[in-house]
Structure 1
Amino acid sequence: MASAAEQLAANLNFSAFGKAKELQQRILFTIGVLIAYRIGTYVPLPGIDLVQYQAFFDRQAGGLLSTFSLLGGGAVERMAIFALNVMPYISASIIMQLMSASIPSLEKLKKEGGEAGRKQINQYTRYLTVLLAAGQALAIALGMSAVDPNSGASLAINPGPFFVVSTVTTLVGGTMLLLWMGEQITARGVGNGVSLIIFAGIIAEVPRQLFSALNSAASGGSAANFLFATVMIIAGLVLVVFIERSQRRLIVEYPKRQQGNRMVGGDKQFLPLKLNTAGVIPPIFASSLLLLPATALGFQAQSGPEWLQTMVAWIGWGQPAFMALYALLIIFFCFFYTSIVFNPEETADNLRKSGGFLPGRRPGAATANYLDFVLSRLTLIGAGYLTLVCLVPMFFFSSNTALGGTSLLIVVSVTMDTVSQIQSHLYAHQYESLIKKSKLRGRRR
């Protein structure tokens, strides 16, 4: 006889979805917010010369601005009100996690503060987001106000204090509005709001880049190169899905114990350890740390000294210095973020309290050491996989692409997480239906 879970899984069809009205409302709300976000990426900043800016952006094509524009859904290319996207928030989250791991008061607030402590840390993160967004917006505003010595023009129509203030206010307001929209999606929609905003920006760029590649192949480009790129993307997609779903399952045994007149327990369960515990966080963190200062430097470099222009060229997308820093940051954040989300000592202590143990390992310190041993090796494999997926496309594509390694990771991870949440809502709806039916049958009897 099929179990209840198997029966529920069998019922997860379009009929079940059609009856889940709350889930439909959540999905429609999420789509509506994402549409509003996409509209905002086409609203340009006031006071900029769009023709001059487009020429400047075209000169920077394939560099850091293109990468930042990709993650922002093309908002940087159009210098829209959402040009900063949610990257300042991601950078603020990085800093707060680093501080939470090194400052005792914040660490205590995170571990012992409960829901109130979590809300307090989130509030600190928002304050820091405003400061980072203001700093980056100021650098962008000053860079657009600078006069190009070659052409004698600037990207701003009327450069001056008013332009700087209005630009900083608009960009910071756009970032905070996106952060609020992401929080609304998380609370009233489906999926993680901030991740879905980045996901929507990347997906929106895919059709344009795909048609561009097709036109290039049709107008004399190499069809073999296009075919090779297609095969690489499909292979990368398969690899990402396979690794993201891979787990190392550790057997956990529970001894039998006397309960009244009968013996209970003696079960075996699994402790799943993901091969890539950190998920897509390391590439996003690494990208934000490289892109935020480099983008600001790129605006200053057009009218700055020669050494600044050389530095910007060294850390350009696909350059050896950029790839080396990118790989080091990915590996660092893999181990750092894994140490935050999974604590071997805490897990071993929870197993001991519940009566579980790993076969051949003594409860307590021995179990914690073994979990740390296994997790460290899994994290090493995961770091190598993330580095490979993110760096390999740089050797074959002349510029960043919406179908590159980091974009592929984000798209696959966010899609899997969103689908999982949709399935959870459907499971909950199915359980509610079963409970209502059982109550009705009980009343009839």
Structure 2
Amino acid sequence: MKRLVILGGGESGIGTAILGKKEGFEVFVSDFGKIKPKYLDVLKNNEIEWEDGGHTEAKILNADLVMKSPGIPDKAPLIKKLVEAGISVISEIEFAARYTKATLVGITGSNGKTTTTMLMAHLLKQAGLKSVAAGNIGDSFAKWVALDDQDFYALEISSFQLDGIVDFAPHIAILTNITPDHLDRYEYKFENYIKSKFRIAENQTEKDYLIYDADDPVITDWLAKHPVRSQCIPFSISKQLEKGAYYAQEEINILIDDTTMTMSTKNLTIKGAHNTKNAMAAATAARLLSIRKATIRESLEGFQGVEHRLEQVLKINHVSYINDSKATNVNATFYALDSMSAPTVWIVGGVDKGNDYTDLFPLVNEKVKGIICLGVDNAKLLNTFSGMVETIIETQSITEAVKIAYKLSDKGDNVLLSPACASFDLFENYEDRGRQFKEAVRNL
């Protein structure tokens, strides 16, 4: 019996444990921190051996295969020991993909991947296909494969998960964009991060597809120098294309295999140029999967968007409160500020991942009337933006941040939580940050 060791007892770890057990592995789960009670219950019910609060190396270095949580960096000493011992260390998507015959649509990118994944899942469901969204969202991919294998998966995939693949190859890969993010994990080299994102296509064949943003110079330059085997299908909002998807005169046009589909963007519920791109990417994938044009139109027009991504919370005294907690990098916040059509009080801050805020300067000058820094260490934000706005205040509490925003805002203004940073200094994760923000707004 082969021994599968799982490092990390979170969503991906527990899903992998269930699938590993089902596939006949001897499974051991080890977590350096504490495993949550809901996950412990699953391990106990499935009679899977586990430990938390530290790693017992002797029980790990005898593995035949190791699945590590995406949160554990490759340079962690234990991972280095495993690699030196010749033990294969893979990610959950690699493990799960080995045990399903489903059609996989893999979606990656610095921004827009959650919205595109949710849109893709919505399109598949509306088309009546047995399908779910998994990967970085919802239940883990491995858990689905183990307990209720689907015919189609829309998988949101991070660069960390792609770092742990060997044979993983989605039939359709979508690359939404690439901007500097997580550089702390890539030796502060942007090209390492780009290479990581492109791993989504590295095992694809001529029968597979890579859908990508042709307006993104990082992607087009990389593709010019590192061609892929899959069929490349671009999308653009700035130029007319002979193949792929493009936007013109408030219409999306999709041209694939001599068939054309046109739809108006006027009725799209999700607004902004970036969402037009997300819609084009998902619709193009749907066309490749032969989903009917009418179904695509209806699905895109009925899609409500994603929680914590430019989510309208409430209007209080004619001030709109907007939750964009999912904006954990500068580029995501750029989209958010760019879509503001009224003076904005901006709540920003958290764990800075080596952010360069210069791209935001024109938008801050144009749209932002006050900045509230919400983080344990706000020095960089204060140094960067102090001269640009009349009011810049720092706080370590979301409740206080919302109260200050209430005082700073006037009739017709927006209050925008778009942190441009990770959330781990004051919150469990960006969802927790978003929920606490909404709670604080409702309590005003």
Task: Give the TM bin, normalised by the shorter chain.
Answer: under 0.3
Greater strand share, structure number:
2
TM-score (normalizing by structure 1)? 0.22
TM-score, with structure 2 as normaliser: 0.22
Greater helix content: 1
